[in-house]
Amino acid sequence: MKKLIASLLALSGAWAMGSRAADAPAGTVVSNTVNMTYVVGGIPLSDHASANFTVAQLVNVTVSWQNTSDVAVSAGAVQQALLFKVTNTGNGSDSFRLADTVVTPGGTSFTPAGCQIYFDTAGTGVFDPSDVLYTPGSNDPSLAQNAGVNMLVVCNVPNNAVDTALGEMKLAATSQTASGPFGTVNNGAGVGGVDAVVGTTTGVSNSTGIYQVHQVAFAYTKTAVITAPGGGHQPVSGATIEYTLTVTPSGSATAGNVVITDPVPANTSFVTGFGILLNGSAVTPPTGDYNVTTPGAVTVKLGSLAGSAGAQVVQFQVQIN
Amino acid sequence: MMKSIRIAIGFALLSGWALSAPAADQPGHVKLQAVGYYQKLTVGKDGTKHTETVPVDHVLPGTDVTWDINYEIIGNQPVTDAVITDPVPAHMDYVGGSAETSKADVTYSVDGGQSFNTPDKLQVKNADGSLRAATPKDYNVIRWVIRGTLQPGAKGTLSFHAVVQ
């Protein structure tokens, strides 16, 4: 029995070291025993007395948004997650009722839609099909002292959300043991029937997470200049047509794997001697090719293209048969 | 049958004694008592805050508890060499200086009562084995050596503060 107690103490010691603070757990009986030794008529005697009390439950909770920066989303995206952590910062087990609300930020904003709260069951910090839906009053997270749980607020982004618009969601957690002004006592409501007292967090905590729309759009123009063999601009047989394709990205996102494909018109031939120019410089496979990536077409692979990259100009020539 | 009745009576007596134990025991010479109390903050419905001194019952982490140790010479013979020791309760941190009194020489132990010394001489080991000066949180036993002889009828109170972890 003694061994068992010793190992339990060792465990609790390790646990206390690992926790945020070594708050005495609710329900702990703290005992004070005083001893007195003295001498009466040459005879040594001793005496003792003791008193004790029980540690009450301090109710505290902390909600904190976990994403390190605004969560990038695009218009029309579904099931986009904000990651929050709910931590029981009190000194006894407690369960927490969660609620999410839309916050309207200043400036350009959008309203997250169809929001639901999920447990981050898969542990990825983003929404996964295996994440368990939270239903208030049904599966309120129950947390031991200093324990935390990761929760996701999962929303859809409206189709009309514009680039750089912000969307904000607040997640609030309320102790089911006690809440109200600091110092409010809920007699006997704590673990093991001890009194529960509302701590500095008032038994309620909330945190706001932020989405930001990041997308990229492309403007596209194509011009043709005809040069006839005699020097005129008539589209006669043997005339050369020089095409200039201009792709201009805009927006705060970066598009990946951008490819420009332009078919060479019927009854014309690609001018190999001119080749393909990208921003004035000749490009060769794999960046640019004719009739390799796409039969009968000019293909230029721009790769990743930021909205801020500026106009991308592709030039090539064909000759009218 | 007889045996089981005796056991039942034994338990009843024992639990009755345990209930009254916090008050004192009575060897006939000294009455000793430990009492804990604290300043309880209450918030009225109108938000006003006031404090009252209440006995310890259900106490929150962070609470500063005052422990009073009351002694009274109830016999008719003088008492000498009175020494009171009180281990700082588990889950509590001693508040530095709070046990000091002019009635007794106060020393502290950082090794569970094997040795006692004044604060300026107490040291504890760091994790790497080096020594550092002890802080009040390191004290785990308080000892008061009461000065002089306590005459019949004499009474006094020693006290200290400790904060609930």
Q: Does A196 touch chain B (CB under 8 A)?
A: no
Amino acid letter for position A241: I
- Does position B2 have pLDDT exceeding 70, yes or no? no
Q: Mark which residues 31-90 of B lie under 8 Å from A by CB.
A: 32-36, 41-43, 47, 49, 56-62, 65, 67, 69, 71, 75, 77-87, 89-90
Looking at the structure, tell me whether residues A262 and A311 fall in a common domain: yes
Chain-chain contact of B81 with A45 (C-beta, under 8 angstroms) = no
Looking at the structure, tell me whether residues A133 and A187 fall in a common domain: yes
pLDDT for residue B110: 96
Q: Which residues contact A82 (CB under 8 A, 6 or more apart)?
A: A65, A67, A71, A152, A153, A154, A155, A169, A171, A209, A210, A211
Looking at the structure, tell me whether residues A259 and A153 fall in a common domain: no
- Does position A14 have pLDDT exceeding 60, yes or no? no
CATH for B151? 2.60.40
In a domain, B89, yes or no: yes
Looking at the structure, tell me whether residues A208 and A226 fall in a common domain: no
Tokens 């999920």 sit at which residue?
A118
Counted domains in chain B: 1
Region B46-64 average pLDDT: 87
pLDDT by residue (tens digit) across A166-207? 999 999 999 999 998 887 888 999 999 999 989 888 889 999
pLDDT by residue (tens digit) across A209-236? 999 999 999 999 999 999 999 888 999 9
How far is residue A260's CA from residue A247's CA, in Å, rounded to a whole number?
A: 9
Q: Does A230 touch chain B (CB under 8 A)?
A: no
Looking at the structure, tell me whether residues A72 and A137 fall in a common domain: yes
Report if pTM > 0.80: no
Q: Does B113 touch chain A (CB under 8 A)?
A: no
Least confidently predicted of A15-29, A73-87, A291-305: A15-29
Looking at the structure, tell me whether residues A181 and A135 fall in a common domain: yes
Q: Which of A213, A228, A244 is the last residue of a domain?
A: A213
- Tokens, residue A312: 């991308």
Looking at the structure, tell me whether residues A184 and A128 fall in a common domain: yes
Domain coverage including residue A249: 216-320
pLDDT for residue B15: 34
Percentage of chain A beyond pLDDT 90 is 82
CA distance B5 to chain A (A): 28
Percentage of chain B beyond pLDDT 70 is 83
Which residues of chain A lie closer than 8 angstroms to B62, CB-CB?
Answer: 23, 58
Q: Which residues contact A66 (CB under 8 A, 6 or more apart)?
A: A83, A84, A85, A125, A150
- Tokens, residue B133: 């000066």
Looking at the structure, tell me whether residues A283 and A173 fall in a common domain: no
pLDDT for residue B20: 35
CATH for A182? 2.60.40.10
To probe the interface with A, which of B29, B41, B58 has the most A CB atoms within 10 Å?
A: B58
Beta bridge partners of A268: A320
Question: A249: closest CA among A317, A315, A303?
Answer: A303
Domain coverage including residue B61: 25-164
How far is residue B68's CA from residue B163's CA, in Å, rounded to a whole number?
A: 14
In a domain, A31, yes or no: no
How far is residue B114's CA from residue B112's CA, in Å, rounded to a whole number?
A: 6
How far is residue A66's CA from residue A124's CA, in Å, rounded to a whole number?
A: 12
pLDDT for residue B9: 36
To probe the interface with B, which of A17, A23, A28, A40 has the most B CB atoms within 10 Å?
A: A40
Q: What average pLDDT does the structure give for chain B?
A: 84
Region A40-57 average pLDDT: 94
How far is residue A272's CA from residue A288's CA, in Å, rounded to a whole number?
A: 12
Chain-chain contact of A34 with B89 (C-beta, under 8 angstroms) = no
- Provide the pLDDT confidence category of residue B28 given band limits of 50, 70 and 90: confident
Percentage of chain A beyond pLDDT 70 is 93
- Does position A5 have pLDDT exceeding 70, yes or no? no
pLDDT by residue (tens digit) across B73-123? 999 999 999 999 999 999 999 999 999 999 999 999 999 999 999 999 999
Chain-chain contact of A39 with B21 (C-beta, under 8 angstroms) = no
pLDDT for residue A10: 30
Percentage of chain B beyond pLDDT 90 is 70
Predicted complex ipTM exceeds 0.85: no
How far is residue B12's CA from residue A220's CA, in Å, rounded to a whole number?
A: 95
In a domain, A20, yes or no: no
- CA A92, A98, A101, A105 dihedral sign is positive
- Tokens, residue A283: 């490009």
How far is residue A72's CA from residue A64's CA, in Å, rounded to a whole number?
A: 19
pLDDT for residue B14: 35
In a domain, A96, yes or no: yes
Bond before A25 cis per omega within 30 degrees: no
Q: What average pLDDT does the structure give for chain A?
A: 91
Q: Which of B58, B92, B165 sits opposite A56 (nearest CB)?
A: B58
Region B151-162 average pLDDT: 96
Q: Which of A189, A213, A237 is the last residue of a domain?
A: A213
Closest B-chain CA to A9? B90
- Provide the pLDDT confidence category of residue B41 given band limits of 50, 70 and 90: confident
Looking at the structure, tell me whether residues A69 and A208 fall in a common domain: yes
pLDDT for residue A13: 30
